[in-house]
Each structure stands twice: as C-alpha cells, then as structure tokens.
C-alpha cells in the first residue's frame, strides 16, 4: 500500500500515527486517514480487495471497545465495616 496511487496518503497517515504524541494515540491523524480511505475508494481497481475486507471487518467488530490502561478498573465493592464492641473491663473515660 505504500506504493501505488494512494501511497503518499498511506505514508502520511501511517507516519502521523507512529509519531503522534496525542492521547489517544493518533487522534490528531484522523484527517490523514480519511484522505487515505477516500483515495482507496477512488481507486477500487487497485484497492478493491482491501476495501471489501475493511467493510467485512466492521460488521465483525465488537459493540464496545476492550478496556485500556487509561480506563479505570472495574469498581470492586468494599465490605461493610464490622462494628466492634468495647471489651469488658476497659475504661471509657
């Protein structure tokens, strides 16, 4: 994909992602990836198989994303505290 009618768009998008320091990584490269996808769609004779495979992958994608390191871990309930009764013979003054 790095060479061909959309090679420049592919290299720009890939390079942007690799060097991205934004959080989440690559969020600042969305426009470059859209340009690459538009180029792929404009050249179905060259990228037809990739376009068809990408469409199939979207149908198989999970409904939600798996947790990442940036997402908080699940909440674990803390057990209720146990009330301690004063021991016999202890002074309460």
pLDDT digits (tens, 9 = 90+) for 21-45: 999 999 999 999 999 999 999 999 9
C-alpha span between 91 and 40 (Å, rounded):
83
Nearest residue to 40 via CA among 77, 15, 8: 8
pLDDT digits (tens, 9 = 90+) for 46-55: 888 777 776 5
Is residue 69 over pLDDT 70? no
Is residue 8 over pLDDT 90? yes
For the chain, how big is the Rg over CA atoms in Å? Answer: 27
Answer for the pair 49, 75: CB distance below 8 angstroms, yes or no.
Answer: no
Distance of CA 8 to the CA centre of its chain: 25
Distance of CA 86 to the CA centre of its chain: 53
Mean pLDDT estimate for the chain = 76
Point out the least confidently predicted range of 10-19, 30-39, 46-55, 56-65: 56-65
Predicted TM-score of the model (pTM): 0.54
């Amino acid at each position: 994909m790095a060479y061909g009618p959309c090679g420049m768009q592919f290299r720009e998008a890939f390079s942007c992602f690799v060097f991205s320091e934004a959080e989440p990584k690559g969020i600042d490269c969305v426009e470059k990836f859209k340009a690459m996808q538009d180029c792929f769609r404009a050249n179905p004779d060259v990228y037809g198989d990739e376009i068809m495979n990408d469409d199939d992958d979207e149908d198989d994608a999970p409904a939600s994303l798996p947790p990442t390191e940036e997402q908080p871990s699940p909440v674990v309930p803390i057990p209720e505290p146990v009330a301690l009764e004063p021991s016999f013979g202890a002074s309460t003054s």
